Chains A and B, each alone.
Chain A
Amino acid sequence: MPPNPTESGIAVRANGIWKVFGRNPERVLEPKFRDLPKNELQRKTGCVVGLRDVNLEVKTGELFVLMGLSGSGKSTMIRTLLRLVEPTAGTLHVDGKDVSAMSHKELLEFRRNLVSMVFQSYGLLPHYTVLENAAYGLRLRGDEKEKREARAMEALNMVGLAGWENYYPTSLSGGMQQRVGLARALAKNPDILLMDEPFSGLDPLIRRQMQDELVDLQSDIGKTIIFVTHDLPEALKLGDRIAIMRDGEVVQVAEPEEILSNPHDEYVRAFTRDASPARVYTASTVMEEPEMLLYRWQGPLTARNEMERQKREWSFVVDRRRTYLGVATRDVIERLAKEKRTTVEKEDLMYLEPVRPDVVIEDLFGVVSSESYPLPVTDDDGKLLGVVRPRAILNALSTGEADA
């Protein structure tokens, strides 16, 4: 199987993939059955259609999201890529190799070297330590003990689990277990990473954090990632392109904005409607530059002049690295000026609790309406990225446009 030169830039190509569960599945491909809807087919033949004539092309280095309701065939599709599920018909090329034609031995080699998978239920070996789990793929491949442990350690570092290598998975939280699963997948440095709802079992906060880390990771290592989810915000956040599946068929493949702005049919539209903007847009999509900014070292007199000039009653204050410190009102500045202080210190300021850029705006409703000030948005290091004004949130909600 020489890699086909015309295939360069294509990581996965699926052509006319069918998967039918049940007895004599080939029967379903006959003309009199193949166009029947899923439930009618099940009534007539007793077979369940998992995938129906799926054609997909995933580009190298792309983060490709498979999305759809429960039972739409996402897991079946991603499993088919490793032949954990045998397709009933169709051809499958991964990295230019014809997976559907591989012998059992070639298939083992293929699974050991080229593609890794991360599972919703983690699938860790409970009697192995974190390190042994992370190294398991390398062990199956036949790597030497030192080599595989060194690489596994590297992978554990990458997912932030350094220091945990000698623990057993049962003593780790769900998020950490999934990191082990990710480390196991990364350790063998695969070309392609398959992820079947990897974050569905996690708490929302951990989940968001893992999503961010995945985005960072992908921009660092540039792997092709195929990611399954049934969560639209997650798909929109992660996906370079999104394929929407229904009853085993791919309904639409498009970039996130296009899915939102130009849904192919009612099914896709229902998806996007279901995901109200409040749950799709995050603080970072609606935040704006602050109208006025004071620097800590400027001192009360300069600050007072500045406020005078801009006719403002208050301002956010930051330090040299733009780290958010608090809000200074005109009264405070006047008082400090009277006291002849030279700098504005943090203790003098009113501290509005900042929010993170990835908070969905639904979570901001309570906070925003009760404050007359806009909300400061900061990153992990406390740097002020922007502010969210109540009006911006209302605009985003009413028009469904982030930039309104």
Chain B
Amino acid sequence: MRDFPDWIRFPVADSVDRAMAWVLTNLGWFFDWVGEVGLQILIAVERTLLFIPWWLAVIGVGVVAWRAIGRVRSGIAMAVLLFMVGAFGYWAHAMNTLSVVIVAVAFSITVGIPLGILMAWNNVVRNMLTPILDAMQTMPSFVYLIPALMLFGLGRVPATFATVIYAIPPVIRLTNVGIREVSTSVIEASTAFGASRWNLLFDVQLPLARPSIMVGVNQTTMMALAMVVIGSMIGNRGLGMEVLLAINRVNIGQGFEAGISIVFLAIIIDRITTAFARAKKAKEASGEEADTDAVEEESTSKASA
């Protein structure tokens, strides 16, 4: 009596299977085409990364990190981390992983920011997207591997696809939040001076939502990096594959090296993107400081006059 009765069954699995089969038979050509284009892009990005001499990449990362973070020490640390990845013998794998991350993040941003804007503009869109985004984030990440596999077969394209699905929610959400949090008084004042919807978007909403959007981009990047490892289960090479192989062979040392390489990549990307997100703010803040001094000067000179 306590068990759920056998005769009550609403099988959804069948319908999902049927829908998938329908998509494959009728839209297969489309996914083949997308897969082909995606593959070419991924290969081009990877070639470009591999074309850069390793020492130039190490120095370049060092300099960029130094400029972005503002400390020579951090620049050197980032360069050393990248150097270590090469020293473990994973340079090529790292570039492969990176190419997938770059393409996935670029795609997430180009789709995610406009979606976030729509969500902020329109409550209906928001109410529709919110549960979908919730689902995307709570679903175990390798569930995405199955449709990716069915649509694009094995390889880096389905891995990129799964990565996008997994990593895109933060940038959408934080774009929406950032725009919605722009103070209504600024919006109202701009409207009163005759700002159109697009004036508002480009003059007011996007610039003021920028810090929030940058946090979204940063989170999306980190999630993409995490997903790339899982993507190796469907045939993406790169660092993830090395980790997977090490696990299969119970090779702790190799697994550690590959794993720590991923961590190093993550640290480098995180530090640099976070620093870029803060860069402008820091500049404005220091400007403000100078300005406040001037205000004080002015007011004291007035008082003494």
Contact = CB atoms under 8 A, between A and B. Distances in A.
Contacts of B284: 127, 168
Interface stretch (B41-49, B168-176, B202-210, B246-254): B202-210
A99 to B, nearest CB: 13
B185 A171 contact: no
B192 interface: yes
A277 B295 CA distance: 37
The interface size bin for chain B is: 20 to 34
A140 B193 contact: yes
A235 to B, nearest CB: 23
Contact of B192 (A113, A117, A141, A168): A117
A111 interface: yes
Contacts of A179: none
Please tell me the size bucket of the interface on A.
20 to 34
Given A124-B186, A171-B288, A82 B295 contact: no
B87 to A, nearest CB: 44
B189 A123 contact: yes
A125 B195 CA distance: 13
The interface residues of chain B, by DSSP majority, are classed as helix
Interface string A3-17: 000000000000000
B190 A136 contact: yes
A84 interface: yes
A112 interface: yes
B5 interface: no
A70 interface: no
Contacts, number: 73
A21 B179 CA distance: 25
Contacts of A285: none
Given A108-B194, A111-B194, A123-B185, A168 B291 contact: yes
A111 B192 contact: yes
B203 A112 contact: no
B192 A167 contact: no
Nearest to B284: A168
Interface of A: 82, 84, 108-113, 116-117, 119, 121-127, 136-137, 140-141, 167-168, 170-173, 181, 184, 188
23 contacts: A108-B196, A109-B194, A111-B192, A113-B194, A116-B192, A116-B193, A117-B192, A117-B193, A121-B185, A123-B185, A123-B188, A123-B192, A125-B186, A125-B190, A127-B207, A136-B190, A137-B193, A140-B193, A140-B194, A167-B294, A171-B292, A171-B294, A171-B295
